[in-house]
A and B are shown apart, each in its own frame.
Chain A
Amino acid sequence: MKTCCSKPSSSEDQAPCCGPTVGRSSHGESIDPSGIVAHVKTPVGNVPVVSTHLTPADHLGAAMVRLGFRRMDYAVDPGLYAVGNPTPDSPVLVSANYKLSFDRLRQELGGIDAWMLVLDTKGVNVWCAAGKGTFGTDELVHRVQATELGKVVSHRTLIVPQLGAPGVAARKVREQSGFHVVFGPVRATDIPAFLEARMRATPEMRRVRFGLADRLAVVPVELVQGFRYGWLPALILFLLAGINRHGYDSALALVHGSRAALMLVMSLVCGGLLVPVLLPWLPGRAFAVKGAVAGAILACGIVLAGWIPMGGTGGKLDAAAWLLVVPSLSSFVAMNYTGASTFTSLSGVLKEMRYAIPLQIAGGSVGLALWIAARFFQ
Chain B
Amino acid sequence: MLKYLPGVVTLQLDSDACVGCGMCITVCPHAVFAIHEGKAEIEDRDACMECAACALNCPTEAISVKSGVGCAAGVILGRLGKDGDCCVGTGCC
Contacts and interface: CB of A to CB of B under 8 A. Distances in A.
Interface of A: 65-68, 71, 100, 124-125, 127-132, 162-163, 165-171, 183, 186, 201, 203, 206-208, 210, 214, 217-218, 221-222, 225, 279-280, 285-287, 335-336, 338-353
Given A131-B69, A165-B56, A347 B8 contact: yes
Contacts of A352: 5, 72
B67 A346 contact: yes
Nearest to B23: A170
Contacts of B87: 124-125, 128-129, 131-132, 339
Contacts of B2: 210, 279-280, 341, 343
Interface of B: 2-6, 8-10, 23, 25-31, 47-53, 56-57, 59, 66-76, 86-93
Contacts, number: 171
Given A347-B10, A347-B50, A349-B75, A338 B3 contact: no
Contacts of B9: 345, 347-348
Contacts of A225: 88
Contact of B72 (A65, A132, A208, A338): A338
A343 B28 CA distance: 12
B31 A131 contact: no
Given A183-B26, A345-B50, A347-B50, 8 more contacts: A68-B89, A131-B69, A166-B56, A208-B30, A218-B91, A343-B30, A344-B70, A353-B76
A93 B49 CA distance: 26
